[in-house]
Amino acid sequence: MTQVDLEPRYVVGIVCFIGLISAPFLLPILTLRQLTAALFLGMFAMSWDYVSGYTGQLSFGHSMFFGIGGYTAAVLNLELGLTPVLAILVGTIAAGIAGLAVGFPALRLEGPYLALITLIAPLVLVQIVNIFPGTLGGDAGLPSPAGLVSVDEPIGILSTIGFETVFVHETIVYYYLALALFLAIYALFYVFTRSYVGSIFTAIHEDEDAVRSVGINAAKFKVFAFTMSGTVGGLAGAAFVHTAGEPNPGEILSIVVSIEVVLVSILGGMGTITGPAAAGIVYYFVRDALQTSSLTIPVLDATVGHISMALFFAIALLVLFFLPKGALPWVTEWSRDILERRSQRSESPS
């Protein structure tokens, strides 16, 4: 064969990229709004994967970073009138500092102890939010802060290509902002994890002694991973409240968010970045489909929507059981097998 073969994963990547870019032309506007939120779940999952999937420092409380980023930005904008960009910047830095602050004690804690500490941190934050319902909104959350870009009147180009109403235009603008951030974060993590830094991260996961014995300061890399993960998680949280979402505990701070991020990453494939990014998007829609389904289950006499979370976690358990390494590594292996078999067949003369 003389034709140039593009590796299948690049083909899939390009198709997904084109799909995401053209989503506003393909999807109903409400679905596009959901996709915007789904992109943020992908970003949250990537930030978890960067530290936990790669270095093996398990965090069960990553929502602390999304929450610190999101709430800091929202309060600065609502209370002090900071511009959204500045508020997001400060929120990001605050989350980065939180990452640093978790990274240091994490050096002395292993496995379940680290998991427990990280699990407790966002619980404390949720309590703090409840203690100051005035400034932090309590259980119900804060009102949306100013949009990152204010879309007050129709945008010329969008109107000419057939999109009507300000609401639609705003949705499209926020979608592209979220997509740009998603792609930027993906690229950033991709570059780091595919460089020697990622190789050191996974080596730390395998055997820290081996890493130290070749003259690498494992502690420095571990703290760095937590700090960068916290920073990016905070950035995503802050951008989220200024675009697709609202600063309320259920979206960015509660323990359920932390657990979902872990689940998404494991389902997608820990230590791959791509897996958690994609799984975050799929997860969002599957969860939503189950939640809104009015299909009645005969024996139980309940709708799927009623028992959606139970169903959902049951499905997740099944996937984990049959694909313990997650979806992406499984798909990769499977497609490699097929390709190998095909090339063997084309090599053999019969």
Partner 1 sequence: MSTHTTQSAHDEAQTTDILRLEDVTKQFGNVTAVDNLSFSVSEREILGFIGPNGAGKSTTFDCVSGTMAPTDGEIYYRGENVTGVPQHALVEKGIARTYQTFRPLNDRTVLENIALSQMPNSLFSFADFRADTEQRAREICEQVGLGDVVDQTPDELPHAGMLRLEIGRALGTDPDLLLVDEPFAGLTSDEIDRTADLFTSLREGGMTLVVIDHNMHGLLDLVDRVIVISFGEKIAEGTPAEIRDDPTVQEAYLGGEI
Q: Which residues bind partner 1 (CB under 8 A)?
A: 196-197, 199-200, 202-203, 205-207, 209-218, 220-221, 224
Interatomic CA distance for residues 44 and 38, integer angstroms: 10
Of 24 and 269, the one with the shorter C-beta distance to partner 1 is 269
Shortest reach from residue 108's CB to partner 1, in Å: 14
Of 129 and 204, the one with the shorter C-beta distance to partner 1 is 204
Shortest reach from residue 332's CB to partner 1, in Å: 15
Of 84 and 96, the one with the shorter C-beta distance to partner 1 is 96
Shortest reach from residue 56's CB to partner 1, in Å: 11
Of 212 and 336, the one with the shorter C-beta distance to partner 1 is 212
CB 70 within 8 A of CB 248: no
Shortest reach from residue 195's CB to partner 1, in Å: 8
Of 210 and 339, the one with the shorter C-beta distance to partner 1 is 210
Of 58 and 76, the one with the shorter C-beta distance to partner 1 is 58
Shortest reach from residue 125's CB to partner 1, in Å: 28
Instruction: Give 296's strand partners.
Output: 303
Shortest reach from residue 103's CB to partner 1, in Å: 13
Of 67 and 326, the one with the shorter C-beta distance to partner 1 is 326
Shortest reach from residue 143's CB to partner 1, in Å: 39
Of 213, 2, 253, 289, nearest to 129 by C-alpha is 253
